[in-house]
């Protein structure tokens, strides 16, 4: 569409940085994944041994399954929640800034120690959650010591921190011209219908963005389980990033850890490629004319 050289000029800073700060350590890590390396002695080349061992390692395969499960649960829930709240917040409301801040607070807290302590309180045997579901005659559930329960706890934690996605949705919703809503309202369309027929199609690029980002984050999740459940009962909340961390810095097995991260990397790339391939079917860009 425009002069090629100018485009390259604009992306030049990124290109330079990428070679130095990303590709170089990347390749270095790939090299390490073919070695036995404990940080102290020089790496010794062992070919594909690390990769072969990985695919026989039930712990590793277990973490992959857990990571997948975690991703499948958190991403849709978090996105739906974030979009729903952003949609409501986009109306003219009283005390709107209070609400908006309140919803972002959990994301601000991130890995704060208070989160770890508090979440234990909420989900413990005589904790708030069990008392709450007790009202409906359910439970009490041993959240932390049953595999399903522990997974539910970290999924809930992640969904609770939906602020970043909400913020991005909010910014996108502000982009939707108000006239469209007015027109729809004149046509007698309900709010819910307007939301599905007008709003959603207009913000598909943002939905796509959030989807990709949340997927990538979920696949690399570390903080949540690390803070609250650890490996969980029967390693049910042992995620791949924790496995990598353990092998790198607890077991000093850098080669093995690097191999595991390359496997994770390839999986994430594959999933993202699939997503990009579906993009043409449901994501509408206003600049696209190809």
Partner 1 sequence: MKAAYVPSAVELRKRRKDAISAILRYVVLTLVAVVMIYPILWLVGATFKTNNEIFTSVSFIPKRIDFTPYINGWNTRTKFTFATFFMNTFSFVVPKIIFCLVSSTLVAYGFARFEFPCKKLLFSLLMATMFLPAVVTRIPLYILWKQFGLLDTYVPLIAPTVFANEPFFVFMLIQFLRSVPTYLDEAAIIDGCNSFGVLWRVLLPALKPALISCTIFQFVWSFNDFLGPLIYVTSLAKYPVALALKMSIDQSSGIVEWNQILAMSFLALLPALILFFAAQKYFVEGVTSSGVKG
Partner 2 sequence: MKKNQMKATAITLAAMLAAASMTACGGGASGAGTAGAGAGASGAPADGTAAAAAPSGEVAQISFSWWGNDDRHQATQEAIDAFNAAHVGSIVVTGEPSGFGNLEEVFATRYAGGTAADVMTVNFPWVIQYSPNGEGFYDLDQVKDVFDFSQYDAGFLDSGKSGGIQTVIPYGQNTLGFYINKSAYDRMGITQLPKTFEEYKAAAQVFTAADPNTYLIVSPTFRFAAVYYLQQKTGKGEFADDLSMNYTVADYQDALTWYKDLADAHVFCSRKDYIENVGSEPVSIAQNAKYINGGYPGVLEWTGGIASNAATLEEKGDELVVAELPVIDGAVFKGTMAKPSLTFAISKDSKYPRQAAEFLQYILNDPEGVKLMGTKRGMVASKAAQATLEADGQITGAVKQAYDFTATAEVINNSPIFEDAVFTNAYEQNYEKFEFGQLTAEKAAQAIYDATAEQVAKLKAQYGK
Identify residues 153-172 at the interface with partner 1 (CB under 8 A): 160, 164, 167-168, 170-172
To the nearest whole angstrom, how small is the minimum distance from the Cβ of residue 67 to partner 1?
Answer: 11
Select the residue interacting with partner 1 from 61, 65, 105, 274 (CB under 8 A): 105
**Could you tell me if 44 and 35 are in contact, meaning their C-beta atoms sit under 8 angstroms apart?**
yes
CB of 171 or CB of 234, closer to partner 1: 171
Decide which of partner 2, partner 1, none touches 131; Cβ closer than 5 to 8 Å per partner kind. none
| Sites for partner 1 among residues 210-249 (CB under 8 A) | 212-213, 216, 219-220, 241, 244-245, 248
Structure-token pair, residue 57: 């390692």
DSSP secondary-structure letter at 55? T
Residue ranges with strand state E in the chain? 35-36, 44-45
Alpha carbons 138 and 133: distance in angstroms, whole number: 5
Decide which of partner 2, partner 1, none touches 125; Cβ closer than 5 to 8 Å per partner kind. partner 2
User: What does residue 232 show for φ and ψ, rounded to 5 degrees?
Assistant: 80, 170
To the nearest whole angstrom, how small is the minimum distance from the Cβ of residue 232 to partner 1?
Answer: 20
What does 109-153 look like in DSSP terms, one character per residue? HTT-HHHHHHHHHHHSTTSHHHHHHHHTT-----TTTSHHHHHHH
Select the residue interacting with partner 1 from 51, 189, 195, 209 (CB under 8 A): 209
**Could you tell me if 229 and 144 are in contact, meaning their C-beta atoms sit under 8 angstroms apart?**
yes
Decide which of partner 2, partner 1, none touches 234; Cβ closer than 5 to 8 Å per partner kind. partner 2
To the nearest whole angstrom, how small is the minimum distance from the Cβ of residue 253 to partner 2?
Answer: 9
42: left (phi over 0), alpha (psi -120 to 50) or beta: beta
| Sites for partner 1 among residues 43-82 (CB under 8 A) | none
Q: How many CA atoms lie within 13 A of 54 on its CB side?
A: 23
- 6 binds partner 1, rule: CB under 8 A: yes
Sites of contact with partner 2 (CB under 8 A): 16, 19-20, 38-41, 124-125, 142-145, 150, 229-235, 246, 248-252
- 121 binds partner 1, rule: CB under 8 A: yes
**Could you tell me if 52 and 280 are in contact, meaning their C-beta atoms sit under 8 angstroms apart?**
no
Q: CB atoms < 10 A from the CB of 192, how many?
A: 9
Select the residue interacting with partner 1 from 53, 59, 77, 107 (CB under 8 A): 107
Q: How many helices (H) and strands (E) are present in the chain, helices listed first?
A: 16, 2
Decide which of partner 1, partner 2, none touches 232; Cβ closer than 5 to 8 Å per partner kind. partner 2
Decide which of partner 1, partner 2, none touches 99; Cβ closer than 5 to 8 Å per partner kind. partner 1
Decide which of partner 1, partner 2, none touches 159; Cβ closer than 5 to 8 Å per partner kind. none
């Amino acid at each position: 569409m425009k002069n090629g050289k100018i485009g390259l000029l604009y992306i030049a800073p990124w290109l330079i940085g990428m070679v130095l700060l990303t590709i170089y350590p990347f390749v270095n890590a790939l090299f390490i994944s073919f070695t036995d390396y404990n940080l102290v002695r020089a790496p010794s080349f062992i070919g594909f041994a690390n990769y072969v061992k990985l695919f026989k390692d039930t712990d590793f395969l277990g973490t992959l399954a857990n990571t997948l499960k975690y991703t499948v649960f958190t991403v849709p829930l978090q996105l739906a929640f974030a979009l729903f709240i952003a949609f409501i917040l986009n109306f003219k409301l009283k005390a709107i800034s209070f609400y908006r801040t309140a919803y972002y607070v959990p994301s601000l807290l991130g890995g704060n120690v208070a989160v770890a302590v508090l979440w234990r309180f909420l989900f413990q045997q005589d904790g708030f959650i069990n008392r709450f579901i007790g009202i409906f005659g359910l439970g009490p559930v041993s959240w932390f010591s049953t595999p399903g329960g522990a997974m539910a706890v970290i999924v809930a934690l992640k969904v609770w921190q939906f602020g970043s996605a909400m913020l991005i949705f909010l910014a996108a919703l502000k982009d939707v011209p108000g006239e469209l809503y007015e027109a729809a309202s004149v046509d007698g369309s309900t709010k819910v219908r307007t939301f599905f027929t007008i709003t959603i199609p207009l913000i598909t690029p943002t939905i796509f963005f959030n989807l990709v980002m949340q997927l990538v984050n979920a696949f690399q999740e570390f903080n949540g389980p690390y803070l609250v459940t650890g490996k969980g009962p029967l390693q049910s909340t042992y995620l791949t990033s924790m496995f990598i961390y353990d092998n790198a810095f607890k077991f000093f097995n850098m080669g093995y850890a690097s191999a595991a991260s390359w496997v994770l990397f390839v999986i994430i790339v594959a999933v993202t490629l699939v997503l990009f391939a579906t993009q043409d079917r449901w994501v509408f860009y206003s600049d696209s004319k190809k």
